[in-house]
């Protein structure tokens, strides 16, 4: 991938980020991410399918609930929204090609600001779709997924697809349609729903059942429209338990899977799992991955990390090798991400105001994930980790245990077996041994 | 209900607890629970179906992770387990009849201690079943539900139905069979599964998918056995997110409902929701009730409360009128609890060592729930609360909104409607108004 | 207090809020707050000293981390900052006089927008100080406290008084000076420090000790300046554990008291305690009040409530009678708030967009606090609550226990006493009894 | 250190654990802990001063709030308490010498069971003190600290030193005296207070101020007694926010330091910080270390880890290299632990029932801490980490900033400086750069 510049260079002083190996002292080089290195039969690039998130990386302002903008961008200066959007696209592709990510992701509103006029917006997004299409062609970067931002505009303050007012739901539908059009036109490989306002602020004013039925209905309309227009990719739902709402309907992986099953949406949808959303929901990231993998619905990842002392979505860049090693074991066991990739839904801190900070953040994140892939691969090659787990369930692999699994035993049969065989032997779970085993390869 | 004593009186100095009204100064009287008072067409007794929990109230030792027994019972002194169990049953029915609860609930191990010999245990539980049957006949108290304790014995340290060792699963099955036998013999109206060890301590040693399939299989065997033996009641699953395990499979209402749907168990099962388990899972109690009610699965309640500063299951007695008023609104809207009741899965504090404390705890709990019923009924009679919520969704009751609900509109239709109708009006969610409305009736 | 309007009426359709009693159906009336009602020797107005918070009530935009402005104000339309600020002041005093609060509170930036020029800002705040002074005179409303907003401007992203760059600290000092000038000129009764950015985002780049010393130094300069200029009120520190920073130095009451003692600031400072900050720090509000009261430092209150399912500062209006009853017991036991009052640092939800919602929010909050005062007073009149607690410590009121308290016993004396007296009697903590006692008066 | 056996070998099949280096496949060898390896001028043994915790490692039963004993020990079989205690001591020193820890720690009740007779207990602990003294002499292992268990006996259910009943406080005093006697006799280097019951279950029945004064008084008596009897070591307080109580007075490092300062106890006391207690209190472990270090009170460490999804004290063995690297940086910057060591207040999981699991748990913990020491040392050698932090505060190292630190500037001076110098430059906090820097050395 060659660096792709627009009319001006936005990230001056930083060239293409190269792999230089663990011993390098260059902070603007990869120490672990070596895109062509083959691990377990695939290149790192193929395994990880890294994507840059348009919203944080090119739109993030540094605003927080107690403070104003800290990040001011040279590509955000023009007064004409379309011209400003093109500058941003130039900056985006400069960064994407410098960092060497094969993919990017966006919401409609990341790409171009919308007015309060649907037809006007339709024109804007089409213009930018054409512009991005050319950028993709020139650079080779691809769209991992698109989505519609149905949470920032004040009209969505009571919900988008789940708004009690049908008039608002029509606007949600309109945005989804335009975002699908853009995604399809750009060859986007997937389409994501994150329902930031699809939940409630108080149950006192909420008909949860009716709202969830509206949400299912909207998903069905989106699938029907996209399939009619040739979209063959996956739809993802991204779970999150709360924030900005008090309670968000797509609480966690298990909740979303139950919802998809209830509404017969399992064929078209799988999950986009975010680390920080997992931890906000009271789970480990690994847990959410395993739940999705067990259901055959492990689609994609929003890579970041939360802060266990802060009860909100801090969306920090990944830096925990232990967490990612365990995650990679699950992903590799699942045969990889089905259709998706690893998108950095992560923002540098609002006081990380140097241009280089954008690069350090992504380099650190890509390196820790790549390194985790290497460690996980070593654990798998070693074999003991899987053997211990497999052996643990051996009593179900034959004999009465297998009969139980097949449904050939009754409750009375179990009673008889217990009565005859007496107290079972005590078997250690060996947790500390396994934890040491993981650390051995880190 | 008359007081039923055994050979001796255990709760001396306390007679039957009577309703004396809000103005009473008698701490051993009800101020709100007036069992025959009619509220919305049913008596309080019929609405609430209070149950006393055998485990906390008659077996609770005061043990905590950092301290030993503080509660020593006169009915727990005999060395013969069956004789000791009968004393406990005497004490239980003395208390149940003094407090005036129409129901009680138990685990097998609450009723009588088990040995490590299945046949021996079968004999013990049968003896006690006969004894309790007589107690029920003599007092009129009934069994709301029975269950098997599949978490205390060390054999279950790696799980019961989800144990990696089939031999342990057979013991789980044996206990379930015997607990079902007892429940059926005693005319128990329901049977509960709380899977305290059905989860994992670390994902590193766990095949979550296989374990969950084993769990579903066990539930099916239990249903088949019970139905063959004439049980016509409901099975309940009681969600809890963790503790004692790191992660428990029956995490919350939505997770359990998804599991039941996946394994085609919705016909026989509904939910037993516990307040403290809701809050440990990151939800309000009201949320869990609403999730269950929306699925038609609101079966029963384990009434207690947690402590928001303490991250474990404190199982304190209810005392929050606001929380229970909002809960009662949902329960009444759902048409009441389907088959179940309100069981005090609550323990007095380990330093509440006076005999009277057992009564104060239950009186306080029953009063706050009864008072909440009265408040909720007033809110419903007033009508504004429901009207505001209904009106909020009026745009879906006819016209294009109704067409959307029916599936008669496409995504393009929504786009057209949004484009034509322009920006929707802003509509307040009126949260503070509704909160004031609730407080008006408290 | 008469309604004070400026050039136009901003809250049309709402007149002065009156006390109408618990039975009223008028949602725009007080049901419990009856300002002249005497409770325990003081009027409600004197007890509660309610204050309206300029920032939420007149400046709150509805922005949240995932969404834009939802609240648009007619007093926020003029382009000239000073003219706009005067309109806002008109609206503020209209609201304050309509709701009937005796006090208000502000940050410098609430009163008037600042530019990036210190001299210019000095002029602006002086102009508004004069304007507000007249408003106060015309209405009788008073300034409970003033403060400087040292967290919103991007210059404070690494801290204000604790910024690693001394140049930023000078700006913090400049703002504090001007805010003190305004507070003194307006007869403000107190001055508050809430250190939103006085903490760290990561320990990796932080010299915590040096930063805290800078903070103490700044407090000393502020006290010296204010005293020289005739300020006789209290300084308050408002604890909060985190948000916007990862960790805020003024974590909770105990931490702040320790800091004040270490730096010899106890004479001039006490605490302004916020409900939601208490719960974010892992405490009950009552706990924080008691800690402050025990140190003689219970100065003032920021009244609001958090959401136990949401790990950030939701700043909702109070509505929990139980929580406030227990709080009022502590406040009354402490002899009331020393110098401060009850300031509604609370915001209506961003989807509460009707003009009336501002009133409903404040009415609900004022009513629940007033009602709690009445309940707490009844509990105190009844006497049993205090008697139980006093009796519990009776063994220290005389004899060896009193000798221990006086320091007249040695460890060996205790050993001898324990050896001689043997195992102590078991004494119930009677928690459920006491909880019922509180509920009896609710 | 040679293996020290008693009459029988308890940990058969496991010999002395040796350092074999990172590449070893032997799970019963150290990969990183090489006790004689010199790091930054001291051996690993001197840096880390590892201690084995008597309670978890030799007394832990596997009990949890929902389940019974899972761990059954051959040294726990004799009926005579003193004989049983000697067997346990044999097992303890066998383990300590096999694992190669230079220290151990105990509560009085770990060493020998107590009866309800103070004189009898005095005899028992003296007998065991003699026995342990010989064991120490034979092995070379030393006592890092002793303490009294003032939380397990039911008499302490309402507190020990803070009990409302003075009679209970005398028993606390008696136990402290005997534990001090034992600690002094055994050459214990420190003495610890962990106040498991020194807090409250409900504020409703609690006079927090009086209880805390009693606590301070007891600490003073303990210091006086110990100093009179020749003890020259440090006293440590171990903070914990709650559990078993709702609220524990020694909440966190800042709270304890404030308490010590208030009661003039800073000369004799410093802190024993536990990882899991830090995280339960809403802090990182690093934060607590830094708070203690900044006060010159970083005494000792209870090494373990919590589970961020479980809100109780899971006391798992350490396994997170990132967490410990950052901890080691603070410890090394502080000049090491003042008097204390690193005690494994950690328990293997209750389902880790193999003998080897005890070794795996300790080996894993010792290795991760040792490895963190090596990484931290490399970071320090590299120098950039400290340089970045130091440079960040350079504006206070001279000129006006230094004058501010010295107290030579007034608030008006700051105002003038801000007005003259205008808006400060924006300086990045470089958080991601620093995070990458840490990961570079892992
Ligand atoms: Co995301
Ligand atoms: Co996020
Ligand atoms: Co329960
Ligand atoms: Co519970
Ligand atoms: Co506040
Ligand atoms: Co707040
Ligand atoms: Co500890
Ligand atoms: Co601990």
Q: Which tens digit of pLDDT belongs to each residue from A62-101? A: 999 999 999 999 999 999 999 999 999 999 999 999 999 9
**Is C423 annotated as belonging to a binding site?**
no
Among all bound ligands, the one having the nearest atom to the CA of C145 is 5
**Is D315 annotated as belonging to a binding site?**
yes
pLDDT per position as a tens digit, B163-198: 999 999 999 999 999 999 999 999 999 999 999 999
The domain locations on chain B are 18-382, 385-441
C-alpha distances in Å from residue C56, one per residue of B9, C304, C346, D438: 61, 12, 7, 41
Known catalytic residue at C268: no
pLDDT per position as a tens digit, B116-152: 999 999 999 999 999 999 999 999 999 999 999 999 9
Mutation target to probe the D interface, by most D beta carbons within 10 A, among C156, C242, C418 is C418
Report DSSP state, residue D302: E
Pairing between β-strand D38-39 and β-strand D42-43 as defined by DSSP bridges: antiparallel
Tell me if B85 sits within 8 A of B124, measured CB to CB. Answer: yes
pLDDT, residue B302, reads 98
**Which CATH code is given to the segment(s) A18-382?**
3.20.20.150
**Is B274 annotated as belonging to a binding site?**
yes
Q: Which two tokens stand for residue A34?
A: 């070596």
Which of residues 53 through 92 in chain B touch D, CB cutoff 8 A?
62-70
Residue of A368, A431, A438 lying closest to D439 (CB–CB): A368
pLDDT, residue A1, reads 84
What percent of chain B is predicted at pLDDT more than 70? Answer: 100
Query: In C133-242, where do the E strands start and end?
Result: 142-147, 190-193, 199-200, 234-237
Residues sharing a CB contact under 8 Å with residue D434, sequence separation 6 or more, in sequence order:
C202, C204, C205, D385, D388
pLDDT per position as a tens digit, A18-37: 999 999 999 999 999 999 99
Tell me if C273 sits within 8 A of C310, measured CB to CB. Answer: no
Tell me if D323 sits within 8 A of A321, measured CB to CB. Answer: no
CB contact under 8 A, C310 and A310: no
A380 contacts chain B (CB < 8 A): no
- Residues of chain A in contact with residue C66, where contact means CB-CB under 8 angstroms, are 151-152, 196-197, 243-244
pLDDT, residue C376, reads 98
pLDDT per position as a tens digit, A328-370: 999 999 999 999 999 999 999 999 999 999 999 999 999 999 9
pLDDT, residue C142, reads 98
List per-block mean pLDDT (blocks of 10 residues) for chain C, which spans 442 residues: 95 97 98 98 98 98 97 98 98 98 98 98 98 98 98 98 98 98 98 98 98 98 98 98 98 98 98 98 98 98 98 98 98 97 98 97 98 98 98 98 98 98 98 98 96
φ, ψ (nearest 5 deg) of residue B278:
-60, -50
Tell me if C219 sits within 8 A of C269, measured CB to CB. Answer: yes
As to burial, measured by CB atoms within 10 angstroms (0-12 exposed, 13-18 middle, 19+ buried), residue D413 is middle
Report which secondary-structure segment, H or E, holds C247: strand C247-248
Residue D347: name the closest of D19, D9, D64 by CA: D64
CATH of the domain spanning C38-382, picked from 3.20.20.150, 3.40.50.300, 3.30.465.10, 3.40.50.2300: 3.20.20.150
Report DSSP state, residue A317: P
What is the Å distance from ligand 4's center to B246 Cα?
Answer: 15
Residue B355: name the closest of B6, B7, B11 by CA: B11
Active site residues of B: 107, 110
Residues sharing a CB contact under 8 Å with residue B132, sequence separation 6 or more, in sequence order:
B89, B111, B143, B186
Section D161-169 average pLDDT: 98
Mutation target to probe the D interface, by most D beta carbons within 10 A, among C179, C184, C201, C258 is C258
pLDDT per position as a tens digit, B24-33: 999 999 999 9
pLDDT of residue A417 exceeding 90, the answer is yes
Section D293-311 average pLDDT: 98
Confidence of residue B18 (pLDDT cuts 50, 70, 90): very high
CB contact under 8 A, C432 and B309: no
Which of residues 140 through 159 in chain A touch C, CB cutoff 8 A?
151-154, 156-158
Cβ contacts below 8 Å, chain C against chain D, sum to 282
Section D95-112 average pLDDT: 98
- According to CATH, the topology of domain D18-381 is TIM Barrel (3.20.20)
Section D41-67 average pLDDT: 98
pLDDT, residue C424, reads 98
Confidence of residue B214 (pLDDT cuts 50, 70, 90): very high
Give ∠ CA B26-B32-B34 in degrees, rounded to 5.
Answer: 100
Q: Which two tokens stand for residue D111?
A: 């060493």
Tell me if C227 sits within 8 A of C181, measured CB to CB. Answer: no
pLDDT per position as a tens digit, D368-422: 999 999 999 999 999 999 999 999 999 999 999 999 999 999 999 999 999 999 9
pLDDT, residue C1, reads 85
Chain C, nearest residue to A55 by Cα = C66
Section B190-219 average pLDDT: 98
Give ∠ CA A150-A154-A156 in degrees, rounded to 5.
Answer: 40
What is the C-alpha to C-alpha distance for residues B93 and B81, in angstroms, rounded to an integer? 18
What percent of chain A is predicted at pLDDT more than 90? Answer: 100
pLDDT per position as a tens digit, B71-87: 999 999 999 999 999 99
Q: What is the dihedral of CA A219, A220, A222, A227, to 10 degrees?
A: 140
pLDDT of residue D1 exceeding 90, the answer is no
CB contact under 8 A, B244 and D64: yes
For residue D410, the distance in angstroms to the closest alpha carbon of chain B comes to: 42
Residue C11: name the closest of C78, C97, C94 by CA: C94
For residue D243, the distance in angstroms to the closest alpha carbon of chain B comes to: 7
Mean pLDDT for all residues in chain A = 98
Query: In B134-242, where do the E strands start and end?
Result: 142-147, 190-193, 199-200, 234-237
As to burial, measured by CB atoms within 10 angstroms (0-12 exposed, 13-18 middle, 19+ buried), residue A398 is exposed
């Amino acid at each position: 991938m060659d660096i792709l510049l627009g009319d001006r260079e936005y990230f001056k002083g930083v060239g293409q980020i190269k792999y230089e190996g663990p011993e390098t002292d260059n902070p603007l080089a990869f120490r672990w991410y070596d895109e062509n290195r083959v691990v377990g039969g695939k290149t790192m690039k193929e395994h990880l399918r890294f994507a840059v998130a348009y919203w944080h990386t090119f739109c993030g302002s540094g605003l927080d609930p107690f403070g104003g903008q800290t990040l001011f961008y040279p590509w955000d200066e023009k007064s004409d929204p379309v011209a400003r959007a093109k500058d941003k696209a130039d900056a985006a592709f400069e960064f994407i090609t410098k960092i060497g990510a094969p993919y990017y992701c966006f919401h409609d509103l990341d790409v171009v600001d919308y007015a309060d006029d649907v037809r006007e917006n339709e024109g804007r997004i089409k213009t930018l779709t054409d512009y991005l299409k050319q950028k993709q062609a020139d650079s080779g970067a691809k769209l991992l997924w698109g989505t519609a931002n149905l949470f920032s505009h004040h009209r969505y303050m009571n919900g988008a697809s789940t708004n009690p007012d049908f008039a608002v739901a029509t606007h949600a539908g309109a945005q989804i349609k335009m975002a699908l059009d853009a995604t399809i036109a750009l060859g986007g490989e997937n389409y994501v729903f994150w329902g930031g306002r699809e939940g409630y602020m108080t149950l006192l004013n909420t008909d949860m059942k009716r709202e969830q039925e509206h949400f299912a209905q909207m998903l069905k309309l989106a699938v029907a429209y996209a399939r009619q227009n040739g979209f063959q990719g996956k739809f993802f739902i991204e779970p999150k338990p709360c924030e900005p709402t008090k309670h968000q309907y797509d609480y966690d992986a298990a909740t979303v899977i139950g919802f998809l099953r209830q509404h017969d949406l399992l064929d078209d949808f799988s999950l986009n799992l975010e680390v920080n959303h997992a931890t906000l929901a009271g789970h480990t990231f690994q847990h959410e991955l395993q739940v999705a993998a067990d259901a055959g619905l492990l689609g994609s990842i929003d890579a970041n990390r939360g802060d266990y002392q802060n009860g909100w979505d801090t969306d920090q860049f990944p830096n925990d090798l232990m967490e990612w090693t365990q995650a990679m074991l699950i992903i590799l066991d699942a045969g990889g991400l089905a259709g998706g990739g690893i998108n950095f839904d992560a923002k540098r801190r609002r006081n990380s105001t140097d241009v280089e900070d954008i690069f350090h953040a992504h380099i650190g994140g890509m390196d820790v994930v790549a390194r985790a892939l290497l460690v996980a691969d070593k654990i798998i090659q070693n074999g003991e980790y899987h053997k211990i787990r497999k052996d643990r369930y051996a009593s179900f692999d034959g004999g009465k245990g297998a009969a139980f699994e097949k449904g050939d035993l009754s409750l009375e049969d179990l009673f008889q077996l217990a009565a005859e065989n007496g107290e079972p032997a005590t078997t250690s779970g060996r947790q500390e041994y396994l934890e040491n085993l993981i650390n051995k390869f880190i």
